[in-house]
Amino acid sequence: MGLFSAVKDVIDKLGGSSTVRLASPDPHAVEVSLDHLSVHTASGLIILATSPAGAQVLSEVAHSGEPAQLRGPQSTVHLSPTAKTQRPVHDPKRGWAIPLSSAEREALSRISAEPGDYEISESLAVSIETTPEES
């Protein structure tokens, strides 16, 4: 049993459905490789940094409504659509598990591939950076 599953099982047993659950990776998620993906945090905000091509992938993943595992050279991010309130989780070995509400999926699906910083929600942002090959 993985760390995410073990923690989720303990939380479910202790708190039942009235507590906020921890996000966990979907084992059936499609795996997508990105040329640039890193994750930073700032005051409770998770910032996904990627390239314009990565931004297109983020938009398509959000639009599809399906779970995805995004792999970059530096980070792995598991994005999972959810109707329930869940907290993002970082596992040093497996990467980030980030739940996406319907509002976050909608905002992420409309993200531009233009370089810049985009606030998706109070807890999620995307920074689109040009890579040396694109400059």
Give the tens place of pLDDT for each residue, 2-33. 776 777 676 666 655 557 788 999 999 999 99
Which residue's structure tokens are 């923690």? 7
The pLDDT value recorded for residue 105 is 97
Fold annotation for 29-128: Gyrase A; domain 2 (3.30.1360)
* 76-120 pLDDT, tens digit each: 999 999 998 899 999 999 999 999 999 999 999 999 999 999 999
- Using the predicted structure, report yes or no on whether residue 126 has a pLDDT greater than 90: yes
pLDDT in tens, 41-59: 999 899 999 999 999 999 9
Which CA distances in Å does 14 have to 1, 6, 22? 18, 12, 13
Residue-level pLDDT at 5: 72
Q: So where are the chain's domains?
A: 29-128
Averaged pLDDT, 117-131:
93
d(CA 46, CA 48): 7
pTM: 0.81
Q: Are 66 and 81 in contact (CB under 8 A)?
A: yes
Query: ∠ at Cα 10 (5, 15), nearest 5°?
Result: 125
